[in-house]
Each structure stands twice: as C-alpha cells, then as structure tokens.
A and B are shown apart, each in its own frame.
Chain A
Amino acid sequence: MATEAKLETGAAFLTTPVTEAHFLTPEQFTDEQKLIQESAATFIQREVLPKAEEIRHQEPGLMPSLVKKAGEQGLLMIDVPEEYGGADYGLVVSALVAHEMREASFAVAHGAHTTIGTLPIVFYGTDEQKRTYLPRLATGELIGAYALTEPGVGSDAMGIRTRATLSEDVQYYILNGAKQWISNAGFADLFVVFAKIDDTKHTAFIVEGAWDGISTGAEEKKMGIKGSSTRTLYLDNVKVRVGNVLGEIGKGYKIAFNILNIGRLKLGAGASGGARAALDMAAKYSDERKAFGHPLHGFGMIKKKLAYMAADVYAAESLAFRTVGMVEDARVAAGEDRQAQLAAIEEYAIECSIAKVYGSEALARCVDEGVQIFGGYGFMDEYPISWAYRDARINRIFEGTNEVNRLVAAGTLFQRAMANKVDIFSVFPEIDSQVSSGTAPDFATAETPAALRESVNLVERIKRAAIYSVMKGAMKFMTTIRDEQEFLEYTANQLINIFALDSAVARALSAAREGGVDARAHELMAQVALLKHFNETRAAMEGVLTMAFEGDERRQEIARVRAYLGDPEADIVPLQRELAGIIAERGGYPLK
C-alpha cells in the first residue's frame, strides 16, 4: 500500500487546496482487496445474517462459534504478523472487512476480538507473548476482549481503580477490581486488562479467562447490539504472571489511547458500511412500496431522503478510506518498529476521531431516515431497518464518545498548531486579508469540471472562513481554551465537515477525470453533501464568533464571514432528484 509520494501530514486537509484525490479511494482497491471484501461479504451473507434472530437472542454458543468460523475463513488473521500465524494484510483490508459487517452484534464481537482484543498484543507484546497468544487469536482458537471501562470510569481512562499488587515472591501481580460493559466477556478466553500498580502506575496485563478469580456478571440488557455479549468482568485476587505485563509498567494508558485511534478509524469504516446497508434497504423498499399508486421513490420528500443518505455514505466512506490509506502508508513507512508505527499513526489522531464521529453520525442519520421511509413497518421488529436503528446508537458512544472525540479533534488541532505541525498561523495573514475585504479568488482551475466548480470554491472558502473564525476564537480564549468546550465543539464541527467535504469533492474530481458510468453519481453525491453541510458549517463559524465577540464587533465579524463565504448558487433540489433517480434505478447506493 505504501506509495512513493510524500506522506500527507495530519490535518493538512485544512490548509491544502482540494484537488483530485491524492489519497486512497474505494475506486483504487486492488483486485485482491476486492476479492477479500467480497469473501467477507459472502461470509456475512451466508453464515451470519441467516442467524440474525438467534444472534439477537444470544443463543448459547452461537456467537463464539461464528467468531471461530470467521477464524477458519481467515477473517481474524488480517492484522496479525505472518511470523505469528497471521496474514499481515494491514489496515486497508481490515477496514474493508469492517465495512462489510452487516450484522451489528457480530461486528462488535469481531471488532472486539480483532481490534482491541488482538492489536494491543501485536503492537506491545514481547516476542514470547506474541508466540503464546497471537497464533491462537489469529485462528479463533482463543477469543479476545478488552477490559478498560469501569463503573464510574469511561472516557476518562486514567481514573481506573482496578488494582495490581506485586506478590511477595515477585512472580505475580494480584489483580482486584471490576470492569464494566466488556464486549465478548461471556465467552472470551483472553482479556487485555488495565489496572494500576500500587494505585499509581497505569498498566496493561494479558489475563486468561480460565485463571482463578475471574468471573463475569449477567448479560447486560441493551437497547441494541443485543446479540453481542456485554458483561462485567470481576477480578478477585487474580494471579497474573509478571511475564504477562503488556508494554511498559506505568504506560498502559498509551496502549489504551493508541489502539483506540485504530479502533475509531475501523469504526468509521464499519459505520459507513452500515449506513450504506440502511440506504440499500430503504431504496429497495421505496421501489416495492406504493402510496397513492406510485412507488415511494417517486415522491420528492423521499427523493431528498435517499439523496441525503447517499451523500452521507459517500462522504463517510471517502474520509474513512482516505484516513485508512494515510495511516497505512505511514505505518508501512515507519518500518518494522511497532512503536514507530504507532507514532506514525498518532499523526492522524484528528482524522481518526473525525472518521469515528462523522461515520457514526452519518449512520445515525441514515438509519433514522431509513426507518422513516419504511413508515410504520420501520417500527416493527421483524423489519431489519428497525434493528439497524437500535444497533446504530452505540456507535456514537463507544470507542470514545463523540463528545470526547470532538475534544480530541479540536484539542489536537491547537496542539499541532502551537507545535507548527499544521500551517494555520502562516496562512492566517492572507486569509485575514481575504476575509476582511470579503473577496475570495476563484479556486477552480481550467481542468475543474463545470459541475464541480462551485463545490471546489465552496470547500476552499469554508476552509478559509473556518481558519479565520477559529483563529479569532483561539486568540480570545487562548488561556482558557480547555474550559470553553462549546468553542472546541464548534471548532470540531468545522473540522469534521471540512474533512468530509474535501474528501468527497476530491474523490468526485478524480471520478470526473476517469469518466465512466459512475462519474455523474460521484459528482451529485459530492454536491449534495456540500450543499447540505454548508449551512451547519457556517452556523459553527458564527457560533465561534458569537462566543468571542460582542455588540458591533460581533455583527461585523459575522457579516464578514457571511460575505466571504457567500451563498451557494446551486439549487439542491434538482440535484437530489437526479441523484435519487440513480439510486432508484440501481436499487441502492449508486456505487459498487
């Protein structure tokens, strides 16, 4: 996957003009990657979906047997190095597989095992730990889980209270505590457990489920993902060999945070797949179901919903796979050293958080409108869209709530700016003069296709107006920035939409140059995404300025930004109608 091109730096999308995609897009997947994607999709279709009902009722033994079956197919070995029995296919393939998981409970079980259950050992394990555990995790002989959250401790992972005490013979750590909402807990053989040694040193341990002192509580009764096992894990004087300390003593939090970056990114890729599935269901139904004598997709308000869903899917998958490509290139360029690989991945913490937030929120919008298109049937249990709706909700909560991820995105932006790792200071004077004078140059080039000229200009103006307003806010709140969460949220919302729109427009520009039957669908989805996100992005800018200024100054600043941004000339209605027409004709999301 590594390319010769220079690696894009984190958050560079904010200051780099939108051009044809210089990053990974779904159009660039290799034959082998597509074949694996198809293989994973077929596995889900044949082995998992027919058992959706039994999965939801947690039929005993079913979920672990499905995870093991996935292991026989090779679907658990993707991220495991070859010398430990894995395929070492890397993040592009594992994100593609996550994208194809159409049954949310199974997706959670699979993700808990392959990502947070296995990757800590891949990245931080000693050779002996890897030899002991990875080959069996790669086949599914062992099923993994990850135990960080505690009652009262969620996103604030540093505050855990589980204790680890060195035994007198210094052979063991004795673990005591309770870990809450642990996915796969009901059947996992192996847990990555976080505890504090002597109440201070945050440390990770590899704990086998069969050891004395391990027990689990009852299955939690949840709103969605009912088929995934979620229990409390109790550790009662569990003797963990000192050889099973994972990574450095006192640096367990690093494992927690670094693995979460990958987890968030894969969640984003998975959520975009779920959103696509919701669109496909809704599109099919809108063809079958007639009202007043016409199929639903003939009605303007339904067309709008279908078009918005497609635009959401398009932006979500564009930004997720863009980030996957960047992270994978950086990981490969970092060489064999796993710590260097993680440092490289950390470069894209902003993009990983955005992938999580945008993906989960696009999914939320799509399942919501999906239910709406199904009408009363969408509210009935026997219709899969009702389950998609329930199952989607957790995505905005786990792997760091969307609020925490917004703080990460905005906070990291300011840290990077202060460290001169993102160029917003150096570009500010020019932007300031552009915005103050209310005149924006034409950002389109001679090669920009006519249909995308306005999109290119809007994206570029949004970027500049965002830098302008965020810098104004940052100057005001410089010393109190951590206490101004609303400012950070407005900032994050601008970043999120900019990354989504830049990714979508760039991909559409590439598709336009390639030509082909899908070029128009690309164009329409990028345009609709842009027009539908335009107002909310502008509102976030105005939110910042409203917080930072008062009276005449406030009015003047807002007026400047409004004048600079201008209003879109395009009418979204004909675009969404045309896009909905393509969706109806193809029976779902327009791209393969």
Chain B
Amino acid sequence: MNIVVCMKETPSTTAEKSFTADMRLERRKEDAIPNPFDEYAIEEGLRQQEKNPGSTVTMLCMGPATATDTIRKALAMGGDRGVLVTDPALAGSDAISTARVLAAALTKIGYDLVIFGNAAADAYGGVVPSAVAEFLGKPLLSYASQLGIAGDKATIQRQAEIGYNVVEAPLPALVSVVKSINEPRYPSMKGIMASKKKPLDTFSLADLGLDAATVGGAAAREKALGAEKVSTQRKGEIYVGNDGAADRVVAFLVEQKVL
C-alpha cells in the first residue's frame, strides 16, 4: 500500500508570532516544526505501514525551500521518503491553492491512502483535506479517531456527540485524523540517524504542470484582515460566605459536566 502523509511546516506553538504588512505570518526557520496536528497523521501512517507489511510511507509537504528540515524531522519518526513542493509563486497560498497543489503532487507520486491532520496549528482553516478530496474526486473519511484497512477498504470511527459513527470507503481514500487516534512517537536517535539517508525529492509548480496564476497569493480568495493577541489572563470567580456558595459551586460543576 502506498501511504502518503500530508504535513505542513508551522511555527512552534510557543514561538513569538509576528505578521507582515499584508497579514501573513512571519515564518522563521528556527521556529519551524511539523504541524503538531500532523504528528497524529504521521503516526497513523507509520502504524498502518506496520500493520500492512510491504507498504511505504511518503511525507508530502508544501512549503518554503527550507522545509526540507521539517520533513527530515518527520522522517526521523519513520517512513521511507519525503516530497517537498516548493516554488516562490506559492507564497501567500490560501487553503484552496494549497489543496490544488497537494492534489497535483499526489497524482504525480501515486497513493492508496492519504492521511491528514484535521487542521494546522497556525491557520486553523481545516479545509484542506476535503478540498484535496474534491480535486482528486476521491472519498474523504474525516475526523477519524480510529482507522482500519481491510482489503481495499478503509473504515474509520468518527467521534460523535454520543458514541461514534463507523464510516467506510474504498481505497484509494483520504483520511483526516483527530488527536485521540493515537499517541505520536517521538524521533529516536536511531531514527534521526536513519532519516539522513532517506530520499527527499523537491517539485516545483512546473514539475507538477500547474500554472502559477492558479495558485499562491495570485489566486488566493481569502484575505486576512487583522490579527490580535489572545489575552491569556486567567479569570477566577470567588463565591464567598455560607449563603448559597456551595450550591453555586455545585451548579458550576454540573454545568461544566464535571458532576
């Protein structure tokens, strides 16, 4: 089985964030990490490879030329090869542009199972998996908290308000995963050593046969208008005295579904 994990390079969640004049996030190489949500996708790809001997795992990323380092970090967790799609014309891509590019790359490299994190920690759009599915005309099994492959069929559990739905689709299929699906491994020193020897290909837009006018900032249909820092001040409520304080605490705990 040909497994492809789509992964994004994002700034570390703890890094200081700043924006360019046109409200693009300033990306510093030293802060770059694999999108934390994608770690679950990478882990799931590696677990499916272990369960399905003979499978290969490819890490596919669209990003700046320096994202090869981030792909190597993913390859240090495991997998066989990396593919980076990079092109100056891609700067400023919105979710649809990104999906168009990933779909073209997937078509070029081939796939049976494509796994995504369900969003990226920088933009939180959460649109890319479904848009890629649309471009490819293939089924998307979204928000998977469990994934099983049997024969040429993929089955997931999708977490619902009460219990979960079981959804299946024929391969090739796309799957987006939620955090409860697994606990991602961390790169071992042995994995880090091995990752240096794994092949890592770089594709440009021309390699994918894409017209620069259809992607990147040129084609972006979303525009960020502003960004504000989230206030991290903690707010506490203090109930004083014997008069009903205990009842209010109980009511609060019931409301929060603690009790």
Q: Could you say which of A31, A32, A39 contacts B188, with CB atoms under 8 Å apart?
A: A39
Residues of A contacting B227 with CB < 8 Å? none
- Bound form: Cα–Cα A517–B196 in Å: 31
The answer, yes or no, to whether A11 is at the interface (CB within 8 Å) is no
Residues of A contacting B196 with CB < 8 Å? 32
The answer, yes or no, to whether B69 is at the interface (CB within 8 Å) is yes
Residues of B contacting A31 with CB < 8 Å? 69, 72
The answer, yes or no, to whether B189 is at the interface (CB within 8 Å) is yes
- Which residues of A54-74 are within 8 A (CB) of B? 72-74
The answer, yes or no, to whether A182 is at the interface (CB within 8 Å) is no
Residues of A contacting B16 with CB < 8 Å? 517
- Bound form: Cα–Cα A39–B194 in Å: 14
Closest chain-A Cβ to B26's Cβ sits at a distance in Å of 13
A35-B73, A35-B76, A517-B16 are known contacts. Are A46 and B189 too (CB-CB below 8 A)? no
- Bound form: Cα–Cα A42–B186 in Å: 7
Closest chain-A Cβ to B161's Cβ sits at a distance in Å of 32
Residues of A contacting B186 with CB < 8 Å? 38-39, 42-43, 46
- Bound form: Cα–Cα A32–B69 in Å: 9
Are A36 and B69 in contact (CB-based, < 8 A)? no
Are B69 and A74 in contact (CB-based, < 8 A)? no
- Which residues of A68-108 are within 8 A (CB) of B? 72-75, 77-78, 87
- Bound form: Cα–Cα A592–B72 in Å: 21
Are B192 and A78 in contact (CB-based, < 8 A)? no
Residues of B contacting A35 with CB < 8 Å? 73, 76, 187, 192
The answer, yes or no, to whether A40 is at the interface (CB within 8 Å) is yes
Number of contact residues on A: which range applies? 10 to 19
- Bound form: Cα–Cα A78–B193 in Å: 11
Are A32 and B189 in contact (CB-based, < 8 A)? no
- Bits for B174-199, please: 1 = Cβ < 8 Å to A, else 0: 00000000000011111111001000
Binding site of B, secondary structure by majority: helix, strand, loop or mixed?
A: helix
- Bits for B73-100, please: 1 = Cβ < 8 Å to A, else 0: 1001000000000000000000000000
Are A73 and B76 in contact (CB-based, < 8 A)? no
Binding site of A, secondary structure by majority: helix, strand, loop or mixed?
A: helix
Closest chain-A Cβ to B190's Cβ sits at a distance in Å of 4
Are A73 and B189 in contact (CB-based, < 8 A)? yes
A31-B69, A35-B73 are known contacts. Are A40 and B192 too (CB-CB below 8 A)? no
- Bound form: Cα–Cα A405–B72 in Å: 42
Are A39 and B187 in contact (CB-based, < 8 A)? yes
- Bits for B14-25, please: 1 = Cβ < 8 Å to A, else 0: 001000000000
- Which residues of A1-50 are within 8 A (CB) of B? 31-32, 35-36, 38-40, 42-43, 46
Chain A residue with Cβ nearest B196 = A32
Chain B residue with Cβ nearest A72 = B188
Are A75 and B189 in contact (CB-based, < 8 A)? yes
Are B193 and A74 in contact (CB-based, < 8 A)? yes
A35-B76, A517-B16 are known contacts. Are A77 and B69 too (CB-CB below 8 A)? no
- Bound form: Cα–Cα A28–B16 in Å: 20
Most buried by A among B187, B192, B193: B192
- Bound form: Cα–Cα A72–B191 in Å: 10
Chain B residue with Cβ nearest A46 = B186
- Bound form: Cα–Cα A78–B188 in Å: 12
- Bound form: Cα–Cα A40–B190 in Å: 11
Residues of B contacting A74 with CB < 8 Å? 188-193
- Bound form: Cα–Cα A212–B186 in Å: 42
Residues of A contacting B73 with CB < 8 Å? 35
Residues of B contacting A32 with CB < 8 Å? 192, 196
- Bits for A491-521, please: 1 = Cβ < 8 Å to B, else 0: 0000000000000000000000000010000
Known: A40-B189, A73-B190. 11 other contacts (CB 8 A): A31-B69, A32-B196, A36-B192, A38-B187, A39-B186, A39-B189, A39-B192, A72-B190, A73-B189, A87-B190, A87-B193
Residues of A whose CB lies within 8 Å of any CB of B are: 31-32, 35-36, 38-40, 42-43, 46, 72-75, 77-78, 87, 517
A-B contact pairs, 28 of them (CB 8 A): A31-B69, A31-B72, A32-B192, A32-B196, A35-B73, A35-B76, A35-B192, A36-B189, A38-B187, A39-B76, A39-B186, A39-B187, A39-B189, A39-B191, A42-B186, A43-B186, A43-B188, A72-B188, A72-B190, A73-B189, A73-B190, A74-B188, A74-B189, A74-B191, A75-B189, A77-B189, A77-B190, A517-B16
